[in-house]
Chains A and B, each alone.
Chain A
Amino acid sequence: MEIGYGQDRAERMQRERVASRWQEAYAPIKHLDPVLVLTALALAGVGLLAIYSAKVQTLSEQGLSSMFYVSRQLLGLVLGIVAMVVAAIVDYRHLRTYSAVGFVGSLVLLALVLTPLGTSAGGASRWIMVVGFQLQPSELAKIAVLIAIAAVLHERKGEPGLPTVAVCLVITAVPVGLVFLQPDLGTSIVFIWLCAVLFLVGGVQGRYLAGLGVVGLAAVVAIFRADVIKDYQFERLTSFLNASDPALAQGPAFQTRQSMIAIGSGQFGGKGLFEGTQTSLSYVPENHTDFIFTVIGEEFGFVGAVAVLGLFLVLIWRGLRIAIIAKDLFGTLLAAGVIAMLTLQVFVNVGMTIGIMPVTGIPLPFVSYGGTSLIVWFAIVGLLLNVHMRRF
């Protein structure tokens, strides 16, 4: 068959029409993950309610507006949504290029916290003031480390060798050290866990993984033997084990016990919104930040607690799905790293409120009061969306 010009042009136009239809069909904007976004927003909403309930009594006693914390958290939420959009728009593959810049930048911020510029609370300096806001660099550092390791693991040829693993370990170790100096043991553990999960998903060979496990264990033993961890830190880590001893009226054991009482007394259906006595009588300290889950457990009961954990499971499910369908290993690693962080933070935070984990300063993502955490987690959602949208 002879192919004429006109026909060729018509065919090309036809192809282009099809291509543009395809392009239209595969346009990133058409591949948002509404379940992911709505779940994150639902968790933030629950957080707002719980923060209001936790602080309404104390605030009215202090003569402050009962919306004091809620309005600040709302502002955080708005900024978080902006961050999510920004994080979704720029193709995540560009992040590989800038991963080194982000990583170094976050290290600088972490170091700044340790200078007089950092503000401290409860014996730990974790924040720096940025235009009237308290910025928690360790939250930013988590993303920076995630992107950096994912980039390194993505770039390697074949199975990651020892040099790649070593680079990743350095990338992890520096921020862990800085965070440990704040001191914030909990966040240090998040970094280590993040690195471990990325090694697992990133295809690091089993023998390396096993070797690192042994070394890690030895390091933990060495740390305890070498008294690097201060006594009070050790006590804080272990006190939850005997939280039911009423003699430990103060300190972390008291927190854990009161938190367990609050959650246990919520029973099946909870005491009802704003009806939690443990909450309103401020028996549980920090119940708008680290112990926010206590308020949920007390006021919404087993049903509410399971529902909130269920929302987190939905997020994790979406994250896993994105990890599987991602276009490249970088995307897979980003998604896997995100769900790893999310799982650990939820487990450590909720576990702390129900007495199976030590009391550490790890907030509950999306729910706990705290602008940085909220913004960062929505940015992370944006990152997941980004990987999801650009999976073709």
Chain B
Amino acid sequence: MATNDPTNNALRLTVLTVVIIGLFLALFSRLWFLQILAGDRYSLAAEENRVRTVVTEAPRGRILDAGGAELVGNRPALTISADRQQLLDGNGDPIDEDAARVLERLSQLLRLDQDEIVERLISRRYSTFRPIPIAIDVAPEIVYAVREQQELFPGVVAETLPVRTYAQGQMAAHLVGYLGEISETELEEEPFVGEYRPGEFIGRGGLEQVYEADLRGDAGDRRLEVNRSNRVVGVLQDRDPVPGGDLVTSLDLDLQQATEQILAEGIISSRQNTHTGSGRNLPSTGGSAVVLDPRDGSVLAMASFPSFDPREFVGGVSQRYWDEVTSRENEFPLLNRVIQSAHPPGSVFKTVTGATFMEAGRIGPQGTINCSPAYEVGGITFRNWNRGVDEGPMNLSTALMRSCDTYFYELAYDQWRVEQNQGDDVQEMLPIVAERFGFGRTLGIDLPSERAGVIPSRAWRQEYWLNARETYCRLAEELPPGYGRDVNADLCVSGGNWRGGDAINSAIGQGDVQTTPLQIAASYAAIANGGTLYQPQIGERVVGPDGTTLREIEPTVLDELGLDAAELGALQDGLRRVVMADRGTALGAFTRGTPFPLDRIPVAGKTGTAELKPLVPFAWFAAYAPADDPEMVVVVNVEQGGGGSQTAAPIARNIMEHYFGITDAEDAEFIEGDRILD
């Protein structure tokens, strides 16, 4: 044995032992950290590692008419998509020269700017497992070009994607709406946050927007197990997409088509007619028509002119078309005038004011007022439309039949004086009663962006004046001396006051009163059905792909008119005589040409000619039929269309003739009613 100091040796082995223990302690503590302290985090990472989720889009529900005919469906569209990761790097630049060449070829093939392609690729953050659509609805030749020379287009896929199809073309464009890509801000807001993925299309406008939740369906997903080279090695979970429900609407496709056609033709043909005030042709710039079922408020047809083509929105609308449909020059085709255009209703509003005066106790259903040629108050003369003729005393029914303005002037002034004497606790009757008829508020139809219109009150006027006062006062100083300057000077000082003249203007649906055609239709439906104001609705129910009803959309009662039988009877009788009686303002519109079979199908209605100076008056006609058992209400409004009887009533008559099967839309004739009759 070698000379060796045992203690020294033992010490040296102890040093070695300590080093060994230290190293093992390092291993143990690191394992403790990884597996016990951070184990959960690493478990998640391992889970993420092995699972890739591929989303299978759910087919969006269709939109159907009452009979089940398809308004909006889905169809497969030839699409060119590309895998971003194969083409672009993180900065949106081509990853290599090959990718740059592919982009160049794509740009030539699709006739798209290369920047535009790149923009599409980077703006949509799809999962990496899904190629990003660059061009939807491409020609088959383009698909062949890509498929046959796939080696020239690595990372590019020609595939078929489901897109919206409009079986009826442009029909009901304003109602169905369109789809648009969800924006980044929307993705972070309710109700989309957490539910929607970037790049998803959502309903924009119309029923697509309102019934988004019903139509969308539930995307399926396949959870795939992949190995580290991203090769799929198994399917962990395969959840089939749940298709969206089909929305069955109350629309009648045939009537919808006829309504749109009759409205458009009626408006265009009215441009041949003369505006009595100026002697020039009527501009008839736009208009709308709506048909409701008064028994439950369901919408049978709704048309707005001019219109647009929802097919242009498939796969994203072009800037050019967007500008076209939102321009003033083209009269805002995207606007659904039935619910989005509010302006003075003129005489069709007299039903509401007549009811107001009865409710306020100013007059009974049979009480009479002299229908004088003019009504003078505070030095201002308010004339009847029927200039110069004294029509003698008349009750509400006759006043509606003759659309006698002075009847309403006098009652309005009486009511104004009563309200003025109430001081600060004034109970303003017109806003109260008008609200029961559905005015001054949105009705909640299942379409977006409905307007509420205006029923002016003292408070409203005050508010309005406070906002507009500066303008009044500025104009009072800037304008040359004359009427305009005086008016503005007056408004600058006391424009916040609700004056007798304001009440008188409101009484005939003029001045500050603004209503949408839909509100007029709903109010006439309430008169027709005996006093119940229904919420107008287009959706009837949502049905699943197997035909089972998923959701029934029940009619909603918004209000009761609160009129007794005699009061309601007076309104109904008056409206009936407007069309049926010899001196009714709409009789001409229904009897000229081939007469409407009024003996078989009695019609009740009201004309309106709303002044909106300096424009040509807006023509209104609101009607329901059969008058004794109403099943349809129709309201027609033509902007700058002249007299209600002249332009609006003939259009409404044609719609009714189509509805009742008297004539077809093809055979519509637009014979002017009485030109000057209100």
Residues on A close to B: CB < 8 A?
154, 156-158, 197, 200-201, 203, 258, 260-268, 277-278, 281-283, 297-298, 301-302, 305-306, 309, 312-313, 316, 320, 323-324, 327-330, 332, 336, 339-340, 343, 346-347, 350-351, 354-356
Contacts and interface: CB of A to CB of B under 8 A. Distances in A.
Nearest to B10: A324
A323 B13 contact: yes
Nearest to A262: B46
B15 A200 contact: yes
Contacts of A313: 24
Nearest to A281: B227
Contacts of A277: 46-47, 49-50, 225
B41 interface: yes
B228 interface: yes
A157 B3 contact: yes
B42 A200 contact: no
B17 to A, nearest CB: 6
Interface in B1-55: 1-5, 8-10, 12-13, 15-17, 19-20, 23-24, 26-28, 30-32, 34-36, 38-43, 45-47, 49-50
B49 A261 contact: yes
Given A281-B226, A336-B16, A343-B20, A264 B28 contact: no
B227 A282 contact: yes
B394 to A, nearest CB: 86
B9 A332 contact: yes
A246 to B, nearest CB: 9
Contacts of A312: 24
Nearest to B35: A302
Interface residues of B, number: 42
B380 interface: no
6 contacts: A203-B8, A264-B35, A265-B46, A267-B39, A278-B50, A305-B35
Interface string B529-540: 000000000000
Given A154-B2, A267-B36, A320 B10 contact: no
Contacts of A324: 10, 13
A261 B42 contact: yes
Contacts of A356: 26-27, 30
Interface string B202-236: 00000000000000000000000111100001000
A301 B2 contact: no
A333 to B, nearest CB: 10
Contacts of B8: 203
Given A157-B3, A158-B3, A329-B1, A320 B31 contact: no
Given A258-B228, A264-B35, A309-B31, 16 more contacts: A201-B16, A203-B8, A203-B12, A258-B49, A263-B31, A263-B35, A263-B42, A265-B39, A265-B42, A277-B47, A281-B228, A309-B24, A313-B24, A347-B24, A351-B26, A356-B27
B36 A268 contact: yes
Interface string B359-394: 000000000000000000000000000000000000
Contact of A340 (B2, B16, B26, B28): B16
Contacts, number: 141
A220 to B, nearest CB: 19
A260 B33 CA distance: 11
Interface in B600-615: none
A125 B159 CA distance: 49
A277 B225 CA distance: 10
B422 to A, nearest CB: 75
B228 A354 contact: no
Contact of B225 (A281, A320, A340): A281
A94 to B, nearest CB: 17
Which 8 residue pairs across A and B have the least CB separation, nearest first? A264-B42, A267-B39, A265-B46, A302-B35, A281-B227, A264-B34, A265-B43, A347-B23
Contacts of A201: 9, 12-13, 16
Contacts of A278: 46, 49-50
Given A261-B46, A281-B227, A327-B1, A320 B17 contact: yes
B2 A328 contact: yes
B228 A267 contact: no
Which of B4, B12, B42, B46 is packed against the most chain A CB atoms within 10 Å?
Answer: B46
A50 to B, nearest CB: 16
A316 B23 CA distance: 12
A306 B42 contact: no
A260 B46 CA distance: 10
A49 B225 CA distance: 24
Nearest to B3: A158
A305 B29 CA distance: 12
Contact of B50 (A266, A281, A323, A329): A281
Nearest to B26: A356
Contacts of A343: 19-20, 23-24
A268 B35 contact: yes
Contacts of B3: 157-158
B36 A282 contact: no
A306 B31 CA distance: 8
B2 A347 contact: no
B34 A263 contact: yes
A41 B325 CA distance: 83
Interface string B559-583: 0000000000000000000000000
B39 A354 contact: no
B150 to A, nearest CB: 27
A264 B49 CA distance: 13
Contacts of B46: 261-262, 264-265, 277-278, 298
A332 B233 CA distance: 53
Contacts of B1: 327-329
A216 B320 CA distance: 76
Nearest to B6: A324
Contact of A264 (B15, B41, B233): B41
Given A281-B226, A281-B233, A283-B49, A320 B13 contact: yes
B90 to A, nearest CB: 10
Contacts of A281: 49-50, 225-228, 233
A350 B26 CA distance: 11
A339 B19 CA distance: 11
B16 A261 contact: no
Nearest to A316: B20
B143 to A, nearest CB: 34
Nearest to A342: B20
Contacts of A336: 13, 16
A330 B47 CA distance: 53
A305 B32 CA distance: 10
A200 B17 CA distance: 12
Contacts of A282: 227-228
A277 B12 CA distance: 45
Contact of B39 (A203, A268, A323): A268
A91 to B, nearest CB: 15
B229 to A, nearest CB: 8
Contacts of B12: 200-201, 203
A392 B667 CA distance: 126
Contact of A265 (B13, B26, B27, B45): B45
B232 to A, nearest CB: 11
A339 B24 CA distance: 13
B576 to A, nearest CB: 78
A260 to B, nearest CB: 6
Contacts of A261: 42, 45-46, 49
Nearest to B38: A264
A152 to B, nearest CB: 12
Contacts of A355: 30, 34
B10 A347 contact: no
A261 B15 CA distance: 35
Contacts of B36: 267-268, 302
A312 B38 CA distance: 25
Contacts of A330: 2
A283 B4 CA distance: 53
A309 B27 contact: yes
Nearest to B23: A347
A203 B9 contact: yes
